[in-house]
Amino acid sequence: MKYVINFSGHKLHPIALKQLAEKLKDDVQVEDIKISLSRRIPLFSQIVTMMKEIKKTPLNSGAPIYVIIPGFAIATPLILAYLHGVNGCFPMAVELIRDPVSKIFVVNDVHDLEYYRQNSRHYR
């Protein structure tokens, strides 16, 4: 079972769920997190509060975590920093795109951010 935290603000369409399970070669459990951020309050403190909604068992299991990032761009690095701090590594990022025909969000790719981090070191 792969654990996916959905910060996009949209529930995944059944087609996208099926695509994700096929791409990950496993069943997926998606946890939808409500994201409502204000620029009037420090963003990181809002991220920490929001992260308290996440079930702690998957975060502490040591298993890879997959995230669907929010549309609010500045929230993304804060979420990734928090998850790295809690887990000691970066999560996998699920990339969604809108299908031009059906107009639903479908899975385009999955990016292993920890792999990218480790393999970027030789560019120093």
Residues 72, 25, 51, 16: is their CA dihedral positive or negative? positive
Mean of the pLDDT values across residues 36-42? 87
Whether domain 2-108 has CATH 3.40.50: yes
**Average pLDDT score over residue span 89-113:** 94
pTM: 0.85
Under the banding of pLDDT at 50, 70 and 90, the label for residue 62 is: confident
Question: Region 41-69: what's the mean pLDDT?
Answer: 84
pLDDT of residue 105: 93
CA 82 to chain centre: 12
How confident is the model at residue 98, as a pLDDT?
92
Find the angle CA(103)-CA(31)-CA(47) to the nearest 5 degrees.
Answer: 100
| Distance, CA of 11 to CA of 90 (rounded, Å) | 23
How far, in Å, CA of 23 to CA of 40, rounded? 39
Question: 3, 96 in Cβ contact below 8 A?
Answer: no
Q: Which of 119, 2, 124 is nearest to 68 (CA)?
A: 2
- Identify the CA nearest to 20 among candidates 60, 91, 57, 68: 68
Is the pLDDT at 58 greater than 80, yes or no?
no
pLDDT of residue 59: 74
Q: How confident is the model at residue 39 (pLDDT cuts 50, 70, 90)?
A: confident
C-alpha triplet 52, 55, 56: angle, nearest 5°: 85
